Amino acid sequence: MEEKSISDVIEEYLKQILGNSSQIEISRSAIANHFDVVPSQINYVIKTRFTIQHGYLVQSKRGGGGYIRIERVNLLDDLDVLDTLIQAIGNSISERDAYDVISTLYNEKVISRREGDLMLVALSKQTLAVGNRNAEAQLRARLLVAMLNRLRYES
């Protein structure tokens, strides 16, 4: 049986707290104490696992009464979220991050499995092989943003 990393366990715990709620507010230090890790470990999990590409918006307030708010978002019900996702993609995106975006679109039932598979093929390293990793990442971003814009106007 495969052993889970502490990051996996923390992610699972936060998702369990989130449950069916649209958002949660947590104390970074309280979660760190719960798992006996440094607060930066909690930051790492939130910054890598609770991103707009994964269907989450994160806000934080530092200081004594500080909190971290994690909000699950529905990508096409709120066009501002789609705009934020497009901004997060920017001018360049890795194949892994593009996969995360497409996976979230599929999980949110924005696209079908077949559409997702076609998007993945179009954005793959093999398809975009132009001999320059930066150029491929830029081309991947332009294609993905075009696909997201097309989805926006279809809804």
pLDDT of residue 76: 61
pLDDT of residue 45: 94
pLDDT digits (tens, 9 = 90+) for 47-105: 999 988 788 888 887 766 668 999 887 666 666 777 778 888 999 999 999 999 899 88
Residue 154 pLDDT greater than 60, yes or no: no
Return phi, psi of residue 15, to 5°. Answer: -65, -35
CB 124 within 8 A of CB 45: no
Confidence of residue 1 (pLDDT cuts 50, 70, 90): low
Across 1-23, average pLDDT: 87
pLDDT of residue 142: 95
Q: Which CATH number fits domain 79-154: 3.20.20.140, 1.10.1200.150, 3.40.50.11540, 3.30.310.80?
A: 1.10.1200.150
Residue 155 pLDDT greater than 60, yes or no: no
What are the residue boundaries of the structural domains of the chain, listed by start?
A: 6-72, 79-154
Residues 6+ apart with CB under 8 A from 48: 7
Does 3.30.1450.10 match the CATH number of domain 6-72? no
Share of the chain above pLDDT 70, in %: 90
